[in-house]
Homo-oligomer: A and B are copies of this chain.
Amino acid sequence: MLSVDFSFIEEFINNEQIKSIHGEIFKAHEKFHGNKVFEAIGWLNLPKEYDKKIIEKIINEAKAIRKNCDIFIIIGVGGSYLGARAAIEFLHSGNYNILENTPKILFIGNNISSDELFEIMQFCKNKRICVNIISKSGTTIEPAIAFGFFKNFLENIHGKDGARERIYCTTDLGSNLEKLAHKMGYKTFIIPKNVGGRYSVLTAAGLLPVAVSGANIKKIIAGALNALNFYSIFGKNLNNCYKYAAVRNLFYRQGKITEIMVGYHPKMHYFTEWWKQLFGESEGKDGKGIFPASAIFSTDLHSIGQYIQQGPKNLFETVINIKKPNHDLIINNSQNDFDNLNYLCGKTVNFVNQKALEATLLAHTNGGVPNIVLNLDSFSEENFGHLVYFFEKACAISACLLGVNPFDQPGVENYKKEMFKLLGKSNF
């Protein structure tokens, strides 16, 4: 269960200030629960309106994939990439591929790197692979290029019929990719049109890869449903999700223009990357928005820690504290105490990690950097689902508080238009 600790912001924002924007929060709340003004809110009730047949289909196909391949290749970028990767690393490890898991899972088509394509094709030689292309349109350039190479790769080895059995398409209904899949007989999963890319982790875009990793996707949805129930209520005491949105908006008004999302476990890196897209794309428009940065401590205390402690006071941090790792280890005495660490003898590694977290909260807050702390007990599927929904809802509310549309990304077209011109695409 998620609890949120706001005690480390008290010197920066008081309850009166939070109360002063209750009215704005209510207006934002009404945009989702009253007269609905946005189309792209399929994510809002997804955890309670899910089609059980689709969940069963995902689970069954994942079983087949786990049985039939050594390497599962996931092709996607942005919202068709970060959610699945965040989930797999959160629920297993950033070291997933060196663990004794089957199949290995590799992510491609999220860049335009020929080296990466080359290296991964080399690695896939003589191995049984399956490919999942995730692309709402089917025409995004990065996944389309990568899919071209891997479709050929499979057809050269297995022929068209064999390739057909190994290709899974996750896309919008009526997209070019969906049409191709239909024609070729590829297995297809549909992303609801009213769920935007960065809000799609709880659709097949995220759930098929996660199921292939062996995690329990029903529990993820149960966690999200639990969050939905908590964060759909507007009351005198703001729910934690709305309070988070309120506090970060008040910080922004105070000139705190960068939020650092902090985890204390390396397996949380891609969760923070997912969060950066969610908030950066939703809020960063019309000249507004909080800059979304991320860090994994204690690693990055040895990198940007100095800056946070003593640099300009225009930052705040949001810390996700997962209290229990999957495996803890007891620290032994070292040789002659050469490292001055014998006082830790008998303590566990995670005990030290928790103390590093508590110490950093004190040090950074004293240094003028407020911290919001999200506490969870473990890296469970339920907790992942809950966190995802918490941030999705908080992001939608936050963007409304800023006065921008949480669901569009008009600026992403700018570089694409320039690129199509330079590439000589017709009509550009």
Contacts and interface: CB of A to CB of B under 8 A. Distances in A.
A286 B367 CA distance: 11
Interface residues of A, number: 130
A423 interface: yes
Interface in A234-289: 257-258, 264-267, 273, 276-277, 280-281, 283-289
Contact of A339 (B176, B184, B296, B307): B176
B412 A305 contact: yes
A292 interface: yes
A421 B291 contact: no
A18 interface: no
The complex is assembled from copies of this chain, and their number is 2
Dominant secondary structure of chain A at its interface with chain B: helix
Interface stretch (A44-52, A147-155, A222-230): A147-155
A180 B358 CA distance: 31
A122 to B, nearest CB: 8
A24 to B, nearest CB: 20
Interface string A105-131: 000001111111111101100000000
Interface of A: 77-79, 81-82, 93-95, 97-100, 110-120, 122-123, 138-139, 141-142, 144-145, 147-149, 151-152, 176-177, 179-180, 183-184, 257-258, 264-267, 273, 276-277, 280-281, 283-289, 291-293, 296-299, 301-315, 325-329, 331-332, 334-336, 338-341, 343-344, 347-350, 352-353, 355-356, 358-360, 362-364, 366-367, 409-412, 414-419, 421-426
Given A114-B349, A142-B302, A309-B414, 11 more contacts: A77-B299, A117-B329, A142-B298, A148-B331, A151-B335, A288-B312, A289-B311, A307-B411, A308-B411, A359-B416, A363-B415
23 contacts: A77-B298, A77-B302, A93-B115, A94-B116, A99-B122, A111-B266, A114-B328, A114-B350, A118-B329, A139-B341, A177-B338, A180-B338, A258-B258, A276-B304, A280-B303, A281-B305, A281-B307, A286-B310, A287-B311, A306-B410, A344-B423, A355-B423, A363-B414
